[in-house]
Amino acid sequence: MSSFKIFDIAASGMAAESLRLNTVASNLANANAISSSKDGVYRARQVVFEEVRGALNGPDAGAAVKVREVIEAQADALARYEPGNPLADTSGYVYSPNINSIEQMVDMISSSRSYQNNIEVVNTSRDLMLATLRLGQ
């Protein structure tokens, strides 16, 4: 029903933002995961959003946004000389992911704010609909 479309829209936004939050959590959790080879190292992931283009009036308008893809950062792994490390390769290097924790934190804040915006939309719409139900009473 068309009156409840707004909940689908906000829900799709929340789903997309929560995936983004998950990615940030994964990036932060793996920020210090070292590896003994350059290729085995964790790469930062980032989600790319896409608008869901449906007819604005159609019955299938539903969702407004979805995650198009999760891309992996192309930045080279950072090499550190740690010959004493059990994971060090033959020349004494260990490799750690090229993840900027501050960037990730900023992304997290931005994502949680967007999530809150969607929740606010749901709350306000719910209040308005309840008021509409009480019409004439």
Partner 1 sequence: MFDLDAHFRLHAESLKLSSRRSELIARNLANAETPNYKARDLDFRKALATALGEGGGAVGMTATSAGHLGGSQSMNLDNLLIDRTPLIESLDGNTVDVQAEQAAFAETSIRYQASLNFVNSQLRGLMTAITGQ
Question: By the criterion CB under 8 A, which residues form the site for partner 1?
Answer: 2-3, 5-6, 9-10, 12-13, 16-17, 20, 48-51, 56-57, 64-65, 110-111, 113-114, 117-118, 120-121, 124-125, 128, 131-132, 135-136
Nearest-angstrom CA–CA distance, 99 and 45: 10
- For the bound state, the minimum distance from the C-beta of residue 42 to partner 1, rounded and expressed in Å, comes to 23
The first and second tokens of residue 108, run together, are 């997290």
Least separation, in Å, of the C-beta of 134 and partner 1?
9
Q: Smallest distance, Å, CB 74 to partner 1?
A: 18
| Nearer to partner 1 among residue 67 and residue 88 (C-beta) | 67
Strands 93-96 and 65-72: unpaired
The DSSP code for 37 is S
Q: Within 13 A of 16's CA, how many CA atoms are on the CB side?
A: 24
